[in-house]
Amino acid sequence: MLDAELETLRRARSLLAACGKLSALTNVILLAQPKPRKRMVPPETRRAMAKAQRRRWAARKAQTKT
Protein backbone atom coordinates (compact mmCIF):
# COMPACT_ATOMS: atom_id res chain seq x y z
CA MET A 1 0.00 0.00 0.00
CA LEU A 2 2.79 2.42 0.90
CA ASP A 3 4.65 1.58 -2.29
CA ALA A 4 1.54 2.34 -4.33
CA GLU A 5 1.17 5.75 -2.69
CA LEU A 6 4.84 6.53 -3.27
CA GLU A 7 4.48 5.61 -6.93
CA THR A 8 1.44 7.88 -7.23
CA LEU A 9 3.37 10.73 -5.70
CA ARG A 10 6.32 10.12 -8.04
CA ARG A 11 3.99 10.22 -11.06
CA ALA A 12 2.38 13.43 -9.85
CA ARG A 13 5.78 15.02 -9.33
CA SER A 14 6.97 14.02 -12.78
CA LEU A 15 3.79 15.45 -14.32
CA LEU A 16 4.26 18.73 -12.47
CA ALA A 17 7.91 18.90 -13.46
CA ALA A 18 7.00 18.23 -17.08
CA CYS A 19 4.54 21.10 -17.03
CA GLY A 20 7.06 23.43 -15.36
CA LYS A 21 4.78 23.89 -12.39
CA LEU A 22 7.06 22.31 -9.81
CA SER A 23 9.40 25.29 -9.63
CA ALA A 24 6.45 27.69 -9.47
CA LEU A 25 4.90 25.64 -6.69
CA THR A 26 8.11 25.63 -4.65
CA ASN A 27 8.43 29.40 -5.13
CA VAL A 28 4.92 29.87 -3.76
CA ILE A 29 5.70 27.67 -0.79
CA LEU A 30 8.97 29.49 -0.08
CA LEU A 31 7.35 32.91 -0.36
CA ALA A 32 4.56 31.90 2.00
CA GLN A 33 7.02 31.25 4.84
CA PRO A 34 7.40 34.17 7.26
CA LYS A 35 10.66 36.11 7.16
CA PRO A 36 12.85 35.97 10.23
CA ARG A 37 12.35 38.97 12.48
CA LYS A 38 15.15 41.47 12.85
CA ARG A 39 16.74 41.76 16.24
CA MET A 40 15.77 45.12 17.70
CA VAL A 41 18.29 46.55 20.16
CA PRO A 42 17.30 49.58 22.22
CA PRO A 43 19.47 52.70 21.78
CA GLU A 44 20.76 52.52 25.37
CA THR A 45 21.96 48.97 24.83
CA ARG A 46 23.50 49.92 21.50
CA ARG A 47 25.44 52.73 23.21
CA ALA A 48 26.64 50.35 25.95
CA MET A 49 27.77 47.84 23.33
CA ALA A 50 29.66 50.55 21.43
CA LYS A 51 31.31 51.78 24.62
CA ALA A 52 32.40 48.24 25.54
CA GLN A 53 33.77 47.69 22.03
CA ARG A 54 35.77 50.93 22.22
CA ARG A 55 37.20 49.76 25.56
CA ARG A 56 38.23 46.45 23.99
CA TRP A 57 39.86 48.27 21.06
CA ALA A 58 41.70 50.60 23.43
CA ALA A 59 42.97 47.66 25.50
CA ARG A 60 44.14 45.89 22.35
CA LYS A 61 45.83 49.04 21.08
CA ALA A 62 47.58 49.51 24.44
CA GLN A 63 48.85 45.93 24.30
CA THR A 64 50.43 46.40 20.88
CA LYS A 65 52.19 49.64 21.93
CA THR A 66 54.07 47.97 24.81
User: Cβ contacts of residue 22 below 8 Å, gap of 6+?
Assistant: 13, 16
pLDDT for the residue numbered 1: 79
Domain ranges, residue 47: 2-32+42-65
Digit-coded pLDDT (tens) for 6-59: 888 788 777 677 666 556 666 666 666 677 788 899 999 999 999 999 999 999
> For position 37, what pLDDT does the model report?
81
Q: Is 21 inside a domain boundary?
A: yes
pLDDT at 19: 66
Question: Could you tell me the pTM of the whole model?
Answer: 0.43
In the chain, the number of structural domains is 1
CA-closest candidate to residue 15, choices 30, 25, 2: 25
Residue 37 placed within a domain: no
